[in-house]
Amino acid sequence: MSDNIFESLTAKLKATGNFRTIPENRFGNGVLDFSANDYLGFGNITFRDMLVGHPELLNAPMTSSASRLLASTQSHYNDLERLLESIYGFGRRALLFNSGYHANVGMVSALGSLPGTLIVADKLVHASIIDGMKEIRNRIRFPHNNLDKLDEILAREADNYERKIVIVESVYSMDGDSPDLERLVSLKKKYPGTILYIDEAHAFGVLGSKGTGLTMQTHAPDEFDIVIATLGKAVGSYGAFAIMKEPVRNFFINKARSFIFSTSLPPQTVLWSKLMIERMLNASNERRQLRHNSEKLYMALQEIAPDRNRTVSHIGYLIIGDPSRAVGLSAKLREQGLIVLPIRTPTVPPGTERLRISLSSSHSDADIDKLISALKEWK
Ligand SMILES: Cc1ncc(COP(=O)(O)O)c(C=O)c1O
């Protein structure tokens, strides 16, 4: 190929400190990983471990060979969806998607294409939601977690749109903080036609009763019209699901293009997800340990870099404010056997480049102490 646009783009990314490469294999003796979303330590559970007690794993096909709408084997999907429906209750239905990315892109773009619809999303929502909104003209972003501003927007637009779809995350992936969910419900009641769409990717497995997420600990979980979570983080599998009322589910089955036009998850993976979710519901010791780890990290980070927006969370951060410095710091930590990856633009806004610290219940006090002393040394 004679076109050198690729080389010049690469050079530009390198010059601004934003060039990304696939990191080397991270596992090895003494390496401590603070970069994965393995919040409950389920990431190390092997097929062999699960076979004991679950011989049915041997019989689940490795491929569905078709989109869900055409697949011949549906039982694994149905079993998992029924399990999720029994967990989330209120007569709501579950729908599996191939990943959180597929779920958000498919659902947000389908919703946004409805006439008379405005999408109002938090400034820091995940890229999959942003990609779902790309083709939608009627969209507004509100400042991160600023529900006063959201109130203003809804007041202004209330009569201009039949439907106002408010999109938030229950735990933000780069800051670890949460919006006030009860207030979101009262805003929904204040402005008829408001639909609440919430991504629980980083809460599912970790927070709420038995790890079912933050909406489930509110006074009215069913006021959240669409709840999505990925299976690729705390529960140690792959895929995603959404919870909603039956007519909304039917709408997505017919209109979410990422659901319709992609081979569905391997039944093997779906069965694995079901087994891992069952395990997750009983993982209260892991959740307790993770909370302990989160408090320990919070206290240390507040000492290193006090920040009034920081919350006690399994997702910690240290703002560096410069992409090259963030990369350099991450490399220094790597030399000490600590995997803490730099997060740069466009994942976070320019000037807020950071190290993202992802905790797991499998981290011990000594692991966290090692990280803290390294951060204190290099910051
Ligand atoms: C908030 C949020 N939503 C969706 C996704 C995408 O989920 P998945 O990795 O299953 O595609 C992520 C993952 O990075 C996320 O952080």
For a mutational test of ligand 1's pocket, the pick from 98, 108, 173, i.e. the residue with the most ligand atoms closer than 8 A to its C-beta, is 173
pLDDT at 16: 85
Q: How close is the Cα of 14 to the center of ligand 1, in Å?
A: 26
Distance 104 CA to ligand 1 centre (A): 9
Among protein residues, the one whose CA lies closest to atom 16 of ligand 1 = 173
The neighbour count for residue 328, using CB atoms within 10 Å, is 15
Using the atom order of ligand 1, give the atom closest to the CA of residue 101: 11
pLDDT for res 78: 97
Q: What is the pLDDT of residue 160?
A: 97
Q: Give the per-residue pLDDT at 228.
A: 98
Q: How far is the CA of 131 from the centre of ligand 1 (A)?
A: 12
Give the residue ranges of the chain where pLDDT is below 70: 1-2, 26-29
What's the confidence (pLDDT) of residue 188? Answer: 98
Task: Name every protein residue with a CB atom under 6 angstroms from any ligand 1 atom.
Answer: 99-101, 104, 126, 128, 169, 173, 199, 201-202, 230, 232, 240
Structure token digits, residue 38: 């393995």
| Selection from 168, 58, 62, 78 nearest residue 121 by Cα | 168
Amino acid at the residue 75:
S
pLDDT of residue 72: 77
User: How far apart are the CA of 267 and the centre of ligand 1, in A?
Assistant: 21
Residue-level pLDDT at 1: 65
pLDDT at residue number 27: 65
HEC sequence for the chain: CCCCHHHHHHHHHHHCCCCCCCCCCCCCCCCEECCCCCCCCHHHCCHHHHHCCCHHHHHCCCCCCCECCCCCCCHHHHHHHHHHHHHHCCCCEEEEECCHHHHHHHHHHHHHCCCCEEEEEECCCCHHHHHHHCCCCCEEEECCCCHHHHHHHHHHHCCCCCEEEEEEECCCCCCCCCCCHHHHHHHHHHCCCEEEEEECCCCCCCCCHHHCCCHHHCCCHHHCCEEEEECCCCCCCCCEEEEECHHHHHHHHHHCHHHHCCECCCHHHHHHHHHHHHHHHCCHHHHHHHHHHHHHHHHHHHHHCCCCCCCCCCEEEEECCCHHHHHHHHHHHHHCCEECCEECCCCCCCCCCEEEEECCCCCCHHHHHHHHHHHHHHC
Instruction: Describe the crossing of helices 75-88 and 267-281 by its angle, rounded to 10 degrees.
Output: 20
CA of 231 to the centre of ligand 1 (A): 9
Instruction: Please state the pTM of the whole predicted model.
Output: 0.96
Ligand 1 midpoint to CA 99 (Å): 7
In this structure, the residue with its CA closest to atom 4 of ligand 1 is 100
